[in-house]
Amino acid sequence: MTTKNVNFGLRRYCQMAVIVSFLILAVVGNLYSQSGSSEPVNITIETSGSAGPAKQDAARFIIPETAEAIIANARALATAQNKNIFIVFHASWCGWCHKMDTAMNDRSIKKYFDDSYVIRHLVVMESKDKKGLENPGALELMKKFSDESSGIPFWLVYDKSGNKLYDSRAVDPDGKSGSNVGCPASVKEVDHFITVLKGSSKISEEGLTKIRQRFRKIETGL
């Protein structure tokens, strides 16, 4: 192949790459505007033709939704359903995060949370090989209320207008926010959790009792 032919092929390949890039941006923008969850946006693009390495090649992109977009969608849903918003900051490696999700989704108490909150998860502090799963802007949002050293899960409750009502920091005797309770398990941690639920929902006393029992089970095993 001559130099002329090589240059022509490279130009054609670059032109196709630019076109594909614009298509990705357009598709992602549309998906962001329509998506109602915090799950990553999965895009598969297939190209065909005779542009060298691009022939019948498939590219897969996993683009997490931004924290801002997730919360904006949650606010819209919360307004329509007259609920508050429960945000959980978590990571795939976090065992306590999984314990909290398992408890909240337990059949005995799941309905109380679903009826009272629009629940969303934001991925932060992932391991190096999974940094691509993090929701852009999520860590910055968490740092407004707690630093990384406080650990995860870290959670907070917004009203439907986007005003913060509570977070997972226990309140000290002097009224100041203390340490992050994370996944409530001990008596003190669960007490704080129940206080937050009482103040931000209409869950019945019976429901709160069931929630207390389920979360205490994490520590006691009973």
Looking at residue 53, its pLDDT comes to 47
User: Kind and range of the H or E element at 80?
Assistant: helix 67-81
CB distance 218 to 208 below 8 Å = no
Helix, strand, coil abundance in the chain, percent, nearest 5: 50, 20, 30
Q: What is the distance between the alpha carbons of residues 189 and 46, in angstroms, rounded to a whole number?
A: 50
CB distance 130 to 122 below 8 Å = no
Chain mean pLDDT for the chain: 82
CB distance 51 to 57 below 8 Å = no
pLDDT tens figures, 39-50: 454 444 444 444
Among candidate residues 30, 45, 63, the one where a domain is terminated:
63
Residues 137 and 187 in one domain: yes
pLDDT tens figures, 101-121: 999 999 999 999 999 999 999
Locus of tokens 């398990």: 185
Residues 55 and 137 in one domain: no
Domain of 100 in residue numbering reads as: 67-220
Among candidate residues 63, 83, 110, the one where a domain is terminated:
63
Residues 184 and 143 in one domain: yes
